[in-house]
Chain A
Amino acid sequence: MAVRTPRQIGEDVWKTRIEKVNAELVTLTYGSVVAQLCKDFTNDYIQVNEQLDKMGYNIGIRLIEDILARTNSERCRSFKDTAEMISKVGFKIFLNITPAILNWSQDNKQFSLIFDDNPLSDFVELPDDGKAINELWYSNILCGVLRGALEMVQLQVEAKFVSDVLRGDDTTEMRVTLIRVLEDEMPVGDE
């Protein structure tokens, strides 16, 4: 059987194996969460970013199982393969987008995801307090999701947004850096 490309896997799973809901439900619910966090942390956006990242992490460590169970795909051979899977399968399945992968670093340990379209930030305008536009990463939950999901497949990464159209930047860009490949660790006292 021919090896399927990540794009084929993503398209296939999206079309046949995903139960769908109205996108606006997700968009508005996410907005509701961010708004509540801003209120709870009295507009301390740095803390809001952190909380979103934490929530994303919790999602990520469970979401990876969902992906693996649905795709039945093979282990990635390189970080480049991983990047392809993230964009063409992960983002495709859950948000129906395939962010472009660009700006690889020389050592192939860093890349950028460029989001042309981001369902989470539909209808969104950042608060006009002169602060949010410099501090809040509205879609920061996605960074946590990546960090959590990849950790479960032994890749410790750092993911952070470096620009966002909501802030007036030309593109929405997330920078993903591979920190190290985690070793399988035996629990203490286990043979």
Chain B
Amino acid sequence: MSKLPTPSRASSDKSSSHPGFAVRSSATSSSLASRRATVYDRNMNRRAPDLALSTFAFLFSEMVQYSQKNVKGVQEMENRLSAYGYHVGQRVLELATVREIKNAKRETRVLGLLQFINTTIWKAIFGKVADALEKSKDQEDEYMIIDNNPVANSYISVPKELSSLDCASFQAGVIEAVMDGCQFPAKITAHSVPTELYPLKTVFLVKLDPLVIEREKYMR
């Protein structure tokens, strides 16, 4: 994994998403570094101006089509999309943490972290806060993040035979990476719940690892 081009300086390792320093060893890259400003010299607070939604939509559509190759079922397809999201989520968390460093606090409770995802993370990457955060009535370890209009689903129409597929699994991957990165391991799945008003509405079901539930009990 460490050999992959990573769009941030986060290590690709699941568990450590703190701002680490890449070790530059080979002669080529050190001479390269001396020649020009590197990504490390960049001001992390500089936010790039917005881009067109169509740019994302075109790219996402290619991503979905590429993931469809040799896929064995809806489940596998969603896992692949989620893996793309995971990669994005790791970096979003790091960026958000670095940028908020002055008033950053370590979330120790599930609810606090979910609210952080619902607001800060969602806003940082999808440009708006998520529409709702709910706790499951029956299951102690389940929460729901609800987005009435997830950006990943804009311009996606799912064929009838794949009706259970929700391309917002990509966004589920983002949530999963953030939760993992904050040491709250959980499994996130996306479920489309179309309503008349919001045909693209998606519920992200957060199923917490038993370990997290146990820890919560100690903290009460």
Residues of A within 8 A of B65 (CB): 58
User: Is the pair A127, B4 in contact by a Cβ cutoff of 8 Å?
Assistant: yes
User: Is the pair B62, A20 in contact by a Cβ cutoff of 8 Å?
Assistant: no
Given contacts A18-B53, A25-B126, A32-B84, contact A123 B39 (CB under 8 A): yes
Q: In the bound complex, how far is the Cα of B6 from the Cα of A38, in angstroms? A: 11
Q: Name the contact of B56 in the complex, choosing from A14, A21, A136 (C-beta under 8 A).
A: A21
User: Is the pair A29, B126 in contact by a Cβ cutoff of 8 Å?
Assistant: no
Contact pattern, B 82-105, Cβ under 8 Å of A = 1, otherwise 0: 011101100110010000000000
Q: In the bound complex, how far is the Cα of B86 from the Cα of A72, in angstroms? A: 39
Q: In the bound complex, how far is the Cα of B6 from the Cα of A30, in angstroms? A: 10
Residue B163, interface by CB 8 Å: no
Residues of A within 8 A of B7 (CB): 27-28, 30-32, 35, 122-124
Residue B219, interface by CB 8 Å: no
User: Is the pair A18, B52 in contact by a Cβ cutoff of 8 Å?
Assistant: yes
Residue of A nearest to B58 (CB): A59
Residue of B nearest to A34 (CB): B5
Q: How large is the interface on A (under 10, 10 to 19, 20 to 34, 35 or more residues)?
A: 35 or more
Given contacts A31-B7, A95-B51, contact A26 B59 (CB under 8 A): yes
Interface residues of A in 85-137 (CB under 8 A from B): 93-96, 119, 122-130, 132-133, 136
Residue B137, interface by CB 8 Å: no
Q: Interface segment, B30-38, B107-115, B178-186, B210-218?
A: B30-38
Residues of B within 8 A of A93 (CB): 52
Residue of B nearest to A28 (CB): B88
Given contacts A27-B7, A119-B51, A127-B5, contact A22 B59 (CB under 8 A): no
Residue B159, interface by CB 8 Å: no
Given contacts A33-B84, A59-B58, contact A21 B5 (CB under 8 A): no
Q: In the bound complex, how far is the Cα of B43 from the Cα of A122, in angstroms? A: 12
A-B pairs, top 7 by smallest CB distance, nearest first, are: A31-B7, A20-B50, A23-B48, A32-B87, A168-B32, A19-B53, A35-B4
A-contacting residues of B (Cβ < 8 Å)? 3-9, 22, 24-26, 28-29, 31-32, 35-36, 38-39, 42, 47-56, 58-63, 65-66, 83-85, 87-88, 91-92, 95, 124-127, 151
